[in-house]
Amino acid sequence: MTTLSASGFDPTGVRVADVPVQPTPPEAVEWLIEELAKPEYQAARPTPLDLIAKAIADWFASLFVGASATPPVVIIAIIAGVVVIGIVVLLLVFGIPRRNRRSAITGDLFGDDDRRDAAQLRADAATAAGRGDWVAAIADRFRALARAIGDREVVAVLPGTTAREFANGAASAFPAETAPLMAASAAFDRVRYLSEPGDEAGYRAIVELDDRIAATRPTLASAAVAATSAASGPGSAG
- The pLDDT of 59-64, averaged and rounded, is 65
pLDDT at residue 226 greater than cutoff 60: no
- Residue 231: band (very low, low, confident or very high) from pLDDT cuts 50, 70, 90: very low
Angle, CA 118 vertex, CA 198 and CA 107 arms, to 5°: 90
Q: What is d(CA 126, CA 136) in angstroms, rounded to the nearest whole number?
A: 9
- The pLDDT of 27-44, averaged and rounded, is 67
**Alpha helix ranges (H) inside 175-217:** 178-193, 200-214
- In this structure, are residues 19 and 10 in contact, taking their beta carbons and an 8 Å threshold? no
- The pLDDT of 209-220, averaged and rounded, is 90
Q: What is d(CA 193, CA 111) in angstroms, rounded to the nearest whole number?
A: 11
| Coil vs helix vs strand at 19 | coil
pLDDT at residue 232 greater than cutoff 50: no
- In this structure, are residues 102 and 116 in contact, taking their beta carbons and an 8 Å threshold? no
- Integer angstrom CA distances of residue 13 from 2, 4, 22, 83: 12, 10, 21, 73
**pLDDT above 70 as % of the chain:** 55
- In this structure, are residues 238 and 110 in contact, taking their beta carbons and an 8 Å threshold? yes
pLDDT at residue 229 greater than cutoff 70: no
Dihedral of CA 106/110/113/118: which sign? negative
**Using the 8-state DSSP alphabet, how is residue 65 labeled?**
T
Name, in order, each residue with C-beta under 8 angstroms of 180's C-beta and a sequence gap of 6 or more.
205, 209
- The domains of the chain are located at 102-232
Q: CA torsion 98→163→179→154, rounded to 10°?
A: -10
Tens digit of each residue's pLDDT (9 = 90 or more) over 105-158: 556 788 777 888 999 999 999 999 999 999 999 999 999 999 999 888 888 888
Q: What is the largest CA-CA distance in the chain?
A: 133
